[in-house]
Structure 1
Amino acid sequence: MVKTAVEIAAAVRAKELDPVQVTQEALDRIAAADGVVGAFRRVRVQEALAEAAAVAERADLAELPLAGVPVAVKDVTAVEGEYASWGSRAGSSKVSTEDGEIARRLRAAGAVIVGLTRVPELCIWPSSDDPDGTARNPRNPSYAAGGSSGGSAAAVAAGLVPIAHGTDGMGSIRLPSAMCGIVGLKPGKDVVRMPGETGWFGLSTHGPMTTTVADAAVLMSVLAEQPDLADLADPKSSRIALSTQVPLTRAPLPRAFSRAVARAGELFRAAGHTVAPGTPRYLLGAIGGSVARWGAGPAEQAADFELAALQPRTRTHIRLGRLLASRVRESTRERWLEQTEAFFSEHDVLVTPMLASLPLKARKWHESSWIANALPSVRVAGFAGLWNLAGYPAMSVPVGVHPSGIPACVQLVAAPGGEALLLGLAAQLEAANPWPRTTGS
């Protein structure tokens, strides 16, 4: 089994493992499996080996939290010598002459960037496929790995790398993490500060995707430049609300997903927390405001792309997004925050299913129409996007499994500043109810 990031970094710091060897083993796994998994748009073979050799020579090796750890980076951020495609052939392929903030923080922590992971065009959809390949779910390859951080989720769940970077605008870390059975954390608004990024009018943020909670905590601490987040501690006795009501639609859930919420409640109760049913007052306007940003954000970004070269589904989304731009109002978010603040004055954490339906099947979704993509996208993401609009931290944690082999994961949501609480609670779930870290484990 692939070592965790925490294990690798500890062994490299102690000079018990050679970063070049660790990187070569990751590259070998990618070469052997990614033809099926489809996680990577670009694998940085020679560059990664050179980076690993440089890590081994660093004077501060003993202090690096991610010393020698192979990491996959979502194909949306600047990496020196690479270009970020955003899943599209319509953008510029001019390579970056320097690292962006995410790559800089990862390298400063000692990580080795082995590749850029596959995303859907402009990160709009919950299936990461493009004309060159499809990111498949390692738990059941007939299903997609999700999106938009689907390549990152597939790379981690398949054991190709121990950790990966993702971004989450409407669930894009949490949804693929849930589909692939790994840990995914969307931090709260402005926890990962990125100067100059608008992130779909404030919806999107960067976060970790890992197989263990300890790895998520370390990677979160690096991305946020908050070292204290790496220190997992037993959480305080918390008031935990359980809800399986799909926001507004009350659509039926797969039974395994509602059972996962009940199971999480049992485990939390046994750990000494107060657990009871509880559902926020979901607002139609908040859902509309989230959808408006989902359209208007990519429409704004598309100014840097050749419109005619975008996929047909994306062009339609851009046109609709321009129409929806007038509905992006701060007042919508403020009304939703009034409801969330009232709910979290009486509860510390909300537990819901992470997925509202089974994932999309793995196929060439980029060849289908906008409506064929949009309907299943909205259906599967019912529990996710409202917490982007609120700017609250939310986390996907494996608990059970659906008969299809797709994991049954729960979403943990806390008020702003609750990242450490979520990580602590997730660690309790992990200790009481361990999950298979990777396929075959």
Structure 2
Amino acid sequence: MTTFEERATVHAFRDDALGEHDAVGLARAIRRGEVGAAEAARDAVERVRAVEARLHAVQVYVDDAQGYATGAGGGAFAGVPTFVKDNTDHQGLPTGHGSEAFTPGVARRHAPFTRQFLSSGVTVLGKTRLPEFGFSPTTEYETAQPVRNPWNTGYSAGGSSGGSAALVAAGAVPIAHANDGGGSIRIPAACCGLVGLKPTRGRVVPNDQSRRLPLDLVSDGIVSRSVRDTAAFLAAAETYWRNPKLPPVGLVEGPSGRRLRIGFLLDSPNGVHADTATRTAVTETAAMLERLGHSVDPVAPALDPHFTQDFLTYWGMLSFLVGTTGRALGPDFDRRGMDGLSRGLREEYLKNWRRTPGVLRRLKRTKEAYAVAFRGLDLLLTPVLAHTTPRIGHLGPTVPYPALIERILAYVAFTPVDNVVGTPSISVPTASTTEDGLPVGVMFSGRPGSERTLLDIAYALEADRPFRRIQDA
């Protein structure tokens, strides 16, 4: 029998300084003197605390006595309250990586991306929760409360940026930091009805954890409720630092009207079939795009048949490396305290470690097959996930590893390719919902450096059919 907790919709929208503003709107109100930055921060904290008992999205708050950490010198988001994900250092706050295997110490300095994010002028209120080391597509734990989806608290908020997505979807803050090493921006965005763009590899400053690895999978960004917030974030990030090897993005302020050539697929190239609700969301989006004048045709891109197993092996290598070097995170690190997913990945890698050179070689060659798939196309439209948002527990780390990894691979079948290739990809909400009222997202992927095109199509969809609002649910 479903409990009240399981069927609750939770949001924090109210008549206060934040109102129904997105980040761009709130920053404008602050610049005009209609709202004070301190007032916005105070009201955001009240909003967070109003929903936190149900969502469990916050790992740690900034100490009020020390004052909130704000970006210096103004910026596009000056005074906008936000959170940083708890796998990224913020000076003065502990970085726990979602793990119970060690006691985190306080960070002595900001991570490079934190400095880039702060340069936009945001006010950091604390850090959001993630699954252990960001390995899972749901933000759940062996002993702690899971992060719950504000649209329906019986369901997952996604992962690994689940805490950030839950707070933004609930209206507690307009935007929040997220990062993506296999779908961790796009997955929670799809689960929570948000916009989630994974930038091109190298679009923002390199991620601290992944830049030294043989294959850098991780890109940092945000989750937001509006396309213009994501566009404004990219423009602000570029003001701080721009990669000269990539074409500039600039500030994209709306759809260009350009007619695009878009390929679409319903099932993943590695053979995972999408469920009915997901297929409906993609086909309805394809029809909408054609009505808007775009060319949309089915495609069947090919991937190396080893791709899924190779990605899983690399994933296991990451868990192995964490378990081996964990003392750098905390002197009391004990890999036996890692959760069931992390332990299972590590143990599986230890059986297959000799395959590592071939795995890396094949994964790096994926970009060649992906480039072939984009011949004659501007974008690729796919599901974000192979099935709709699961209930809490379906992907939790207490599920025995063989069953858990089978479930994860049947769920996360579309997002990892863009991480391996380094291409940009965006999750956008659709009008489709599940039987329980949960959002369903679709994903657009592009060539390296094509963020402007991704924002263009996202703006067009948002203008044609505004995204659903949780306060209207």
TM-score (norm 1): 0.92
**For residues 349 and 416 of structure 1, what CA distance do their matches in structure 2 show?**
11
8 Å Cα contact 2:181-2:416 kept in structure 1: yes
Q: What is the aligned partner in structure 2 of residue 376 from structure 1?
A: 407
| Closer, same or farther: CA 223–378 of 1 in aligned 2, 3 Å | farther
Note the alpha carbon deviations across 1:15-36, whole angstroms, 9 max, x for none: 2210111011110011111110
**Does residue 1:340 correspond to 2:354, yes or no?**
no
Match of 1:219 among 223, 228, 233: 233
1:217 is matched by which residue type in structure 2? Answer: A
Give 1:45 deviation, angstroms: 5.2
* Counterpart secondary structure, 1:202: coil
Note the alpha carbon deviations across 1:135-156, whole angstroms, 9 max, x for none: 1111111111111111111111
For structure 2, which runs of at least 5 residues remain unmatched after alignment? 1-12, 14-19, 243-247, 327-332
Match of 1:406 among 438, 443, 450: 438
Mean Cα displacement is larger for which, 241-250 or 383-392?
241-250
Q: What is the aligned partner in structure 2 of residue 317 from structure 1?
A: 345
**Does residue 1:274 correspond to 2:295, yes or no?**
yes
Note the alpha carbon deviations across 1:405-424, whole angstroms, 9 max, x for none: 12121110001011111011
**For residues 195 and 412 of structure 1, what CA distance do their matches in structure 2 show?**
23
Give 1:387 deviation, angstroms: 1.7
8 Å Cα contact 2:282-2:382 kept in structure 1: yes
Alignment of 1:36-435 (within 5 A): 36-44=54-62, 46=64, 49-51=67-69, 60-61=73-74, 64-130=75-141, 131-194=143-206, 197-198=209-210, 201-223=215-237, 225-226=241-242, 228-235=249-256, 236-251=258-273, 253-302=274-323, 303-304=325-326, 305-325=333-353, 326-327=355-356, 329-363=359-393, 365-399=396-430, 400-435=432-467
**For residues 229 and 376 of structure 1, what CA distance do their matches in structure 2 show?**
40
Match of 2:31 among 4, 9, 13: 13
**For residues 144 and 321 of structure 1, what CA distance do their matches in structure 2 show?**
27
8 Å Cα contact 2:56-2:148 kept in structure 1: yes
* Counterpart secondary structure, 2:428: strand
8 Å Cα contact 1:23-1:48 kept in structure 2: no
8 Å Cα contact 1:189-1:205 kept in structure 2: yes
8 Å Cα contact 2:269-2:300 kept in structure 1: no
Runs of 4 or more off by more than 6 Å in structure 1? none
Mean Cα displacement is larger for which, 190-199 or 386-395?
190-199
Note the alpha carbon deviations across 1:207-262, whole angstroms, 9 max, x for none: 221010001112233445458443334343211012102332242x3322112112
8 Å Cα contact 1:260-1:408 kept in structure 2: yes
Matched residues, number: 433
**For residues 97 and 467 of structure 2, what CA distance do their matches in structure 1 show?**
32
* Counterpart secondary structure, 1:154: helix
Mean Cα displacement is larger for which, 24-33 or 257-266?
257-266
**For residues 231 and 363 of structure 2, what CA distance do their matches in structure 1 show?**
28
RMSD of the alignment, in Å?
2.2
TM-score (norm 2): 0.86
More helix by share: 1
Give 1:195 deviation, angstroms: 6.5
Note the alpha carbon deviations across 1:340-385, whole angstroms, 9 max, x for none: 1112122110101111012232149233332243222111111111
**Does residue 1:436 correspond to 2:468, yes or no?**
yes
**For residues 184 and 93 of structure 2, what CA distance do their matches in structure 1 show?**
23
**For residues 408 and 165 of structure 1, what CA distance do their matches in structure 2 show?**
21
| Closer, same or farther: CA 327–339 of 1 in aligned 2, 3 Å | same
Give 1:115 deviation, angstroms: 1.8
Give 1:272 deviation, angstroms: 2.1
* Counterpart secondary structure, 2:297: strand
Note the alpha carbon deviations across 1:306-346, whole angstroms, 9 max, x for none: 21222243222222234444435443134322211112122
8 Å Cα contact 1:287-1:386 kept in structure 2: no
1:343 is matched by which residue type in structure 2? Answer: A
* Counterpart secondary structure, 1:263: helix
| Closer, same or farther: CA 419–333 of 1 in aligned 2, 3 Å | same
